[in-house]
Amino acid sequence: MGLTLTWLSVIILIPLAGLFLKTFDLSLEQFWGIVTSRRTLNALKISFGLSFAAACVNLVMGTIVVWALVRYRFPGRRLFDAIVDIPFALPTAVAGVALTQLFAQKGWLGAPLAELGIKVAFTPIGIFIAMIFIGIPFVVRTVQPVLLDLDVEIEEAAASLGANRWHTVFRVILPSLIPALLTGFALAFARAVGEYGSVIFIAGNLPNVSEIAPLLIVIRLSEFRYADATAIAVVMLVASFLIIFAVNRLQRWAQTRLPAH
């Protein structure tokens, strides 16, 4: 036990504490000034806003994918089940160059979209796409086991009580998936907020328009403005801590709610 805490502190706590200590170089007003400056606010807004939107897409599409994978039999199902994890296993830099290549104006998907007047690469849409990509596995993988475990008898019971399929799905099945859905959503969201490698290639990196917060940290570093970089980092760190903390609480709550486990 003591060993765990020591080791955790060496690997995680000390580095993070260093980050917080560094921000103490700043007065509160300075810190506030940096965090609320237009550029920072916009970068945070872009990172959090687009991540939220991407996580929403992943919530919906992830649920559809899970449903198809768990409930239906179709050719190639096992293969599709396996490839869900690609965004997780594929290095972010590789994902970045690949997505950019794909969605650039000359790319396989970029060209037809450009015909329609939709520009993806180097716009906020590009960031959005990259964030969807990296978030896919999270909703699918958190919901999948729960849906698999779900007792079919509940559905039968609902049906025998006169519920139609629509009602069964939305009143009976979905509610019991909610903790898992929320967890997957939060994980996808947290991952997208911090994502750097796959996004910077495809983002236009225009200040206030398509500049994500992690990039702003890197920019501040290369301007020798460590305090600014750490201030933004602290805000993001606290946010991810809160998200993950909420997820873990959620899971414990879900466990106690379903004592059968």
Partner 1 sequence: MIRPVLAAAAGLLFAGSAYAADVSLLNVSYDPTRELYADFNKAFAAAYQKETGKTVEIKQSHGGSGSQARAVIDGLQADVVTLALAYDIDAVAAKGLTDTGWQKRLPLNASPYTSTIVFLVRKGNPKGIKDWDDLTKKGVEVITPNPKTSGGARWNYLAAWGYAEKKFGSAEKAKQFVGELYKHVPVLDTGARGSTVTFVERGVGDVLLAWENEAFLAQREFGKDKFEIVAPPLSILAEPPVAIVDKVADKKGTRAVAEAYLKYWYTREGQEIAARNSYRPRDSEIAKEYEKSFAKVELFTIDDVFGGWTKAQKEHFAEGGIFDQIYKN
Partner 2 sequence: MNQPQAFTYTPPRDDVHTEPGAIRFVIVALAVLFLLIFVVLPLVVVFASAFSKGVMAYVAALGEPEALSAIRLTLLVAAISVSLNLVSGVIAAWAIAKFDFAGKTFLITLIDLPFSVSPVISGLVFVLLFGAQGFFGPWLQAHDIRILFALPGIALATIFVTFPFVARALIPLMQEQGTQEEEAAISLGASGLQTFFRVTLPNIKWGLLYGVLLCNARAMGEFGAVSVVSGHIRGETNTMPLLVEILYNEYQFVASFAIASLLAMLALITLVAKTVLERRLDEGQVVSDD
Nearest alpha-carbon partner for 34 in 252, 238, 220: 220
Distances (CA, A) of 107 to 98, 104, 121, 125, 140: 10, 5, 10, 15, 28
C-beta of residue 164 within 8 angstroms of C-beta of residue 217: no
Residue 27 engages partner 1 in binding (rule: CB under 8 A):
no
Decide which of partner 2, partner 1, none touches 253; Cβ closer than 5 to 8 Å per partner kind: none
Give me the least distance between CB of 205 and partner 1, in Å please. Answer: 5
Decide which of partner 1, partner 2, none touches 190; Cβ closer than 5 to 8 Å per partner kind: partner 2
Residue 218 engages partner 1 in binding (rule: CB under 8 A):
yes
Give me the least distance between CB of 195 and partner 1, in Å please. Answer: 16
Structure tokens of 49?
A: 């806003």
Q: Applying CB under 8 A, which of residues 225, 235, 237, 250 lies at the interface with partner 1?
A: 225
Pick the closer one to partner 1 by CB: 6 or 208: 208
Give me the least distance between CB of 76 and partner 2, in Å please. Answer: 8
Q: Applying CB under 8 A, which of residues 223, 241, 252, 253 lies at the interface with partner 1?
A: 223
Pick the closer one to partner 1 by CB: 35 or 56: 35
Give me the least distance between CB of 51 and partner 2, in Å please. Answer: 11
Give me the least distance between CB of 237 and partner 2, in Å please. Answer: 6
Give me the least distance between CB of 193 and partner 2, in Å please. Answer: 7
Structure tokens of 167?
A: 């009602």
Per-residue x/- track, 34-53, partner 1 (CB under 8 A): ----xx--------------
Residue 204 engages partner 1 in binding (rule: CB under 8 A):
yes
Residue 92 engages partner 1 in binding (rule: CB under 8 A):
no
Pick the closer one to partner 1 by CB: 181 or 200: 200
Q: Applying CB under 8 A, which of residues 26, 200, 212, 231 lies at the interface with partner 1?
A: 200
Which residue ranges make up the site for partner 1 (CB under 8 A)?
Answer: 38-39, 100, 104-106, 121-122, 200, 204-208, 211, 215, 218-219, 221-225
